[in-house]
Amino acid sequence: MSSSNEIINVAFIGNPNCGKTSLFNDYTGAKLKVANWPGVTVEKKEGSYKFRDKEYKLVDLPGIYSLTSYTMEEKLSRQYILEDEVDVIIDVADASSLERNLYLTLQLIELGKPVVLALNMMDIVEERGMEIDIHRLPEMLGIPVIPVSARKKTGLEVLMHAVAHHKNKSSLEKLEHHHDESSSTKHKHNHHYECVMVYSDDIEDMIDVVTERLQVKYPDMINFRWHAIKMLEMDDEITERYPIGLADIVSRSYELDIINQKYDFIEEVIQECLVNKDKKAHVTDIIDAIFTNRILGLPIFLAIMALVFFLTFTIGDSLKGVFEIFLKWFSGSTRGFLGSVGTNEVLISLVVDGIIAGVGGILTFLPNIFILFLALAFLEDSGYMSRVAYVMDSIMGKLGLSGRAFIPMMLGFGCSVPAIMASRSLEDPKDRMKTILVTPFMSCSAKLPIYVIFSQMFFPKHALLVTYSMYLIGLMVAVMVALILNTFDKKKSLHSLLIELPEYKAPNARSIAIYVWGKVKDYLSKAGTTIFFASIIIWVILNFGTHGMVTDMSQSFGASIGKALSPIFAPTGLNQWKIVVALIAGIAAKEIVVSSMGILYGIGNINSVAGMAGMSAGLAATGFGALNAYSLMVFCLLYVPCAATIATIKRETHSWKWTIFAVCFQLGVAYFVSTLIYQVGKLFL
Ligand code: GDP
Ligand code: MG
CB 449: neighbour CB atoms within 10 A?
Answer: 25
Q: How many CA atoms lie within 13 A of 447 on its CB side?
A: 29
Closest-approaching ligand to the CA atom of 120: 1
State the Cα–Cα distance between residues 543 and 536, nearest whole angstrom. 10
State the Cα–Cα distance between residues 192 and 327, nearest whole angstrom. 74
Beta bridge partners of 117: 91, 145
Architecture of the domain delimited by 188-279: Orthogonal Bundle (1.10)
Residue intervals in the chain for CATH 1.10.287.1770: 188-279
pLDDT of residue 137: 92
pLDDT of residue 175: 54
pLDDT of residue 192: 57
Residue intervals in the chain for CATH 3.40.50.300: 7-166
- Summarised one tens digit per residue, pLDDT across range 480-529 is 998 888 887 766 555 555 556 777 888 888 888 988 998 888 888 888 88
| 3-state secondary structure at position 34 | coil
- The finding on whether 479 has its CB within 6 A of some atom of ligand 1 is no
- Summarised one tens digit per residue, pLDDT across range 473-485 is 999 999 899 888 8
- Summarised one tens digit per residue, pLDDT across range 261-274 is 999 999 999 988 88
CB 365 within 8 A of CB 374: no
Write the DSSP symbol of residue 530: I
pLDDT of residue 181: 47
Write the DSSP symbol of residue 341: T
- The finding on whether 105 has its CB within 6 A of some atom of ligand 1 is no
- The finding on whether 21 has its CB within 6 A of some atom of ligand 1 is yes
State the Cα–Cα distance between residues 364 and 362, nearest whole angstrom. 5
Q: How many CA atoms lie within 13 A of 48 on its CB side?
A: 11
- The finding on whether 33 has its CB within 6 A of some atom of ligand 1 is no
Structural fold of domain 7-166: Rossmann fold (3.40.50)
- Summarised one tens digit per residue, pLDDT across range 166-185 is 887 655 544 555 544 444 44
- Summarised one tens digit per residue, pLDDT across range 567-620 is 999 999 999 999 999 999 999 889 889 888 888 888 877 888 888 888 888 888
State the Cα–Cα distance between residues 235 and 628, nearest whole angstrom. 58
H or E stretch covering 372: helix 366-382
H or E stretch covering 145: strand 145-147
Most confident of 19-23, 49-53, 197-201, 323-327: 19-23
- Summarised one tens digit per residue, pLDDT across range 535-556 is 888 888 888 888 888 878 888 8
Give rounded-to-5 percent helix, strand, coil for the chain.
Answer: 65, 5, 30
Confidence of residue 150 (pLDDT cuts 50, 70, 90): very high
pTM: 0.77
Of 21, 34, 123, which is best to mutate to test ligand 1, by the most ligand atoms within 8 angstroms of its C-beta?
A: 34
Whole-number Å distance, alpha carbon 507 to ligand 1 midpoint, is: 10
pLDDT of residue 193: 61
Beta bridge partners of 164: none
Of 24-28, 200-204, 395-399, the least confident? 395-399
